[in-house]
Amino acid sequence: MKPLNVTVEIWAISDPNLDEADVVITRDFVVANNKIGLEDIISSLCSKLIKEEFSHLQYVGYEILKYS
Protein backbone atom coordinates (compact mmCIF):
# COMPACT_ATOMS: atom_id res chain seq x y z
CA MET A 1 0.00 0.00 0.00
CA LYS A 2 1.34 3.41 -0.97
CA PRO A 3 1.40 5.99 1.87
CA LEU A 4 -1.91 7.78 2.22
CA ASN A 5 -2.40 11.22 3.78
CA VAL A 6 -5.56 11.32 5.86
CA THR A 7 -7.08 14.44 7.44
CA VAL A 8 -9.13 13.55 10.49
CA GLU A 9 -11.44 15.43 12.84
CA ILE A 10 -11.02 13.95 16.33
CA TRP A 11 -13.70 14.33 19.00
CA ALA A 12 -12.99 14.38 22.72
CA ILE A 13 -14.69 15.21 26.01
CA SER A 14 -13.21 17.57 28.58
CA ASP A 15 -15.66 16.63 31.33
CA PRO A 16 -16.77 13.00 31.95
CA ASN A 17 -20.27 14.26 32.84
CA LEU A 18 -20.87 15.51 29.29
CA ASP A 19 -22.86 13.41 26.83
CA GLU A 20 -21.24 14.83 23.70
CA ALA A 21 -17.79 15.83 22.57
CA ASP A 22 -16.94 19.43 23.36
CA VAL A 23 -13.43 19.43 21.88
CA VAL A 24 -12.63 18.99 18.20
CA ILE A 25 -9.05 18.54 16.97
CA THR A 26 -8.06 18.29 13.32
CA ARG A 27 -4.91 16.34 12.41
CA ASP A 28 -3.19 14.89 9.36
CA PHE A 29 -1.79 11.37 9.48
CA VAL A 30 0.29 9.46 6.97
CA VAL A 31 -0.81 5.82 6.86
CA ALA A 32 1.24 3.16 5.09
CA ASN A 33 0.25 -0.20 6.53
CA ASN A 34 -1.67 -2.78 4.54
CA LYS A 35 -1.86 -5.49 7.23
CA ILE A 36 -4.36 -3.68 9.44
CA GLY A 37 -7.62 -2.10 8.28
CA LEU A 38 -7.48 1.63 7.63
CA GLU A 39 -10.32 2.37 10.07
CA ASP A 40 -8.51 0.49 12.85
CA ILE A 41 -5.23 2.29 12.19
CA ILE A 42 -6.85 5.72 12.22
CA SER A 43 -8.83 4.98 15.37
CA SER A 44 -5.66 3.84 17.10
CA LEU A 45 -3.72 6.93 15.97
CA CYS A 46 -6.49 9.25 17.19
CA SER A 47 -6.77 7.53 20.55
CA LYS A 48 -2.99 7.59 21.00
CA LEU A 49 -2.82 11.29 20.12
CA ILE A 50 -5.40 12.17 22.77
CA LYS A 51 -3.66 10.05 25.43
CA GLU A 52 -0.21 11.50 24.69
CA GLU A 53 -0.89 15.15 23.88
CA PHE A 54 -4.21 15.85 25.61
CA SER A 55 -4.25 13.49 28.60
CA HIS A 56 -6.92 15.58 30.36
CA LEU A 57 -9.40 14.70 27.58
CA GLN A 58 -11.34 11.51 26.87
CA TYR A 59 -11.29 10.23 23.27
CA VAL A 60 -14.77 9.79 21.74
CA GLY A 61 -14.32 9.19 18.03
CA TYR A 62 -13.29 10.62 14.70
CA GLU A 63 -14.43 11.48 11.20
CA ILE A 64 -12.25 11.30 8.11
CA LEU A 65 -12.38 14.66 6.32
CA LYS A 66 -10.26 13.79 3.29
CA TYR A 67 -7.75 11.43 1.75
CA SER A 68 -4.90 12.57 -0.43
Taking residues 3-26, report their average pLDDT.
94
pTM: predicted TM-score of the whole model, two decimal places: 0.87
Q: What is the mean pLDDT of residues 39-49?
A: 94
Beta bridge partners of 67: 6
- Region of 47 please: left (phi>0), alpha (psi -120 to 50) or beta: alpha
Q: What single DSSP character describes residue 11?
A: E
pLDDT single digits (tens) 53-62 = 999 999 999 9
Inform me whether the pLDDT recorded for 1 exceeds 70.
no
CB-CB neighbours of 65 under 10 Å: 12
